[in-house]
Structure 1
Amino acid sequence: MEGRLVLALILGVCTTIPCHAYYSQSKPYVPPTEKVAQLHFFFHDTISGKDPSAVLVAHPNFTTAFNNTPIPFGSVFATDDPITVGPNLTSGVIGNAQGLWASTGQDVLDLVVYWDIGFNQGKFNGSSISIFSRDPITQPEREVAVVGGRGKFRMAKGFAKLKTYFADFSTGDAIVECNVTVIHH
């Protein structure tokens, strides 16, 4: 009798479905409906002056490419650029673009940019989009990739068309117009 009880306990333990699995098969995932947002704003990248919004955080010990510019090849800048409704800072700040950009072109002045563009006004207050892409800044218009987001832009993808509105190549200061198409949930 004792042997049967032990056998019954062993079989019971072996056939019990584990309830500590790391997944559930209860319901299939149904992704939410995708939405599209069209955004238009300007960001102000200021290297010069007493209160810059982009600062040099790393540079090579030597470089021959673009040595006579404020952004020689191999330079890395940290940014906290204001985002505005219009091209002037007085047009209303709606957020900021925080991140990094690096001068990566040896033959042509190119950047690789990572920005988290956060909004602190309006419909998208508290939300942000993430951009990580190559930015060939000498071209009048270029496209960068939207690779993510948070808040209302959770799981974002898309692209941003960038157009230089103003550039001072002696100081490195620039104002860039952004037209962004964001696909999000």
Structure 2
Amino acid sequence: MDTHHFLTLCIFLLLSCHAITTSSATAEEDASDFVRRLDRKSLGLHKKEKLSHFKFYWHDIVSGPNPTSVNVIRTKNTTTFFGSVQIIDNPLTVGPDLSSKLVGRSQGLYAGSSQSEISVFMSMTFVFTEGKYNGSSLSILGRNPVNNKVREMPVVGGSGLFRFARGYAEARNVFLNFTSGDASVQYNVYVLHY
């Protein structure tokens, strides 16, 4: 191999290495744009975590001229309602009566999820409208076997004052009208938050 070919090969190899190094650096820059470490204090996570208990009533109004729970998928299974889906915008009140003070709304859906019992999968967000929690929300996601005396579902997160929230909610039937489908449920929610 003569000197000219040798120099050409060396230059080609150097340029190739430079191209590989440049593309690797670009990949690292792209990755750093995707994720980065944050200081916990910048998100308010340096404060001591609190445990709060909320008690309110959830009203599922299926009947009448202004229902807050609307069936969007009907099922032929009228025993367990497996496969049916309800979209909800239910009021949350301080007391068991619908006329008591409104503290928020429960928005989301529930779906018949069992072939052997009345059990629904619930995906809903409690959006609070009262006091210092006005505008903050808690999200519930889980199984609700409706005929059990007490049902427990996880709190999977929240927004506003409930960022990074976790906990659980207990539901107890207060009123259930089998003719109209209307129901009132007491919720006790235990939540860890900052």
TM range, smaller chain: 0.7 to 0.9
Pairing 1:1-185 to 2, within 5 Å after superposition? 20=29, 21-22=32-33, 29=40, 31-32=45-46, 33-60=48-75, 63-66=76-79, 72-185=81-194
Q: Which residue of the partner structure matches residue 3 of structure 2?
A: none
Q: Which residue of the partner structure matches residue 3 of structure 1?
A: none
The offset of 1:122, in angstroms, is 1.0
Task: Measure the CA separation in 1 of the matches of 2:130 and 2:53.
Answer: 16
SS in 2 for 1:49: coil
Higher relative contact order (CA 8 A, sep 6+): 1
**1:118–1:64: structure 2 CA closer, same or farther, 3 Å change rule?**
closer
Task: Measure the CA separation in 1 of the matches of 2:81 and 2:36.
Answer: 53
Task: Measure the CA separation in 2 of the matches of 1:182 and 1:86.
Answer: 20
Residues 120 and 126 in structure 1, CA contact (< 8 A), matched pair in contact too: yes
Number of aligned positions between the proteins: 166
More helix by share: 2
Amino acid at match of 2:184: I
SS in 1 for 2:189: strand
Amino acid at match of 2:62: I
SS in 2 for 1:89: coil
The offset of 1:171, in angstroms, is 1.9
TM-score normalised over the length of structure 1: 0.80
Amino acid at match of 2:93: T
**1:28–1:41: structure 2 CA closer, same or farther, 3 Å change rule?**
closer
SS in 2 for 1:91: coil
The offset of 1:24, in angstroms, is 5.3
Residues 161 and 178 in structure 1, CA contact (< 8 A), matched pair in contact too: yes
**1:24–1:50: structure 2 CA closer, same or farther, 3 Å change rule?**
closer
Aligned-residue CA RMSD in angstroms?
2.4
Unpaired runs of at least 5, structure 1:
1-6
Q: Provide, for residues 91-121 of structure 1, a one-character-per-residue CA deviation record: whole Å limited to 9, x for no partner.
A: 1101100000001121111111011100011
TM-score normalised over the length of structure 2: 0.77
